[in-house]
Amino acid sequence: MKETDNIKVITRNRKARHDYQIRDTIEAGIELLGTEVKSVREGKINISDAYAIVDNGQVFLKNLHISPYRMDSGEGHDPLRVRRLLLHKKEIRKLFVQIEQRGMTLIPLTIYFKGKVAKIELAVAVGRKKYDKRQAIAKSEADKRIKRAMKKDY
């Protein structure tokens, strides 16, 4: 994501970097209904349990919860419906090859608006074991202590 683009971050998957080791990231568009777009703009979205799959040459996002728009007079939409992600065929093939490797999965990191278009940052990731998580926490705390020590020296 470039800083010069008009980007408004809607939500981040905070657990993702803790629970998974990120190998690669890719930006994709999301196919949304009108009421879903309005709900997303209000921040009524939960991506903590979401994941993506490659099926029949297309990428789909599952378990993404978008609450129904409160001002909708119709029946609204299904909050957990499967949503298609918009990618080029070359990108889909690349993702398919990567997730076919043992233990790889596609998880959403961030959902944001780039101008007027809803985008998602997907990560090809490997799940961490419990001891890996502890090592990651210890490393980040050590880095924080080093930064604090460096600040005190100056």
Other CB atoms within a 10 A radius of the CB of residue 40 amount to 22
Q: Is residue 121 part of a domain?
A: yes
Write the DSSP assignment of the chain as a string of letters.
Answer: --TTS-EEEEEE-TTHHHHEEEEEEEEEEE---HHHHHHHHTT-EE-TT-EEEEETTEEEEES-EEPPPTT--S----TT--EEEE--HHHHHHHHHHHHSTTEEEEEEEEEEETTEEEEEEEEEEEPPHHHHHHHHHHHHHHHHHHHHHHHH-
Q: Is residue 11 part of a domain?
A: yes
The average pLDDT across 67-87 equals 83
Q: What is the pTM of this model?
A: 0.76
Q: Is residue 50 part of a domain?
A: yes
pLDDT digits (tens, 9 = 90+) for 91-130: 998 888 888 877 788 999 999 999 889 999 999 988 877 7
Q: Is residue 88 part of a domain?
A: yes
Q: Is residue 69 part of a domain?
A: yes
The average pLDDT across 63-80 equals 82
The average pLDDT across 54-61 equals 91
Instruction: Please give the biggest Cα pair distance in the chain.
Output: 62
Q: Is residue 79 part of a domain?
A: yes
> Which CATH number fits the domain that encloses residue 43?
2.40.280.10
Domain range enclosing 113: 7-128
Q: How many domains does the chain have?
A: 1
Report which of 136, 145, 153 is spatially closest to residue 19, judged by C-alpha positions.
136
pLDDT for residue 82: 92
pLDDT for residue 63: 92
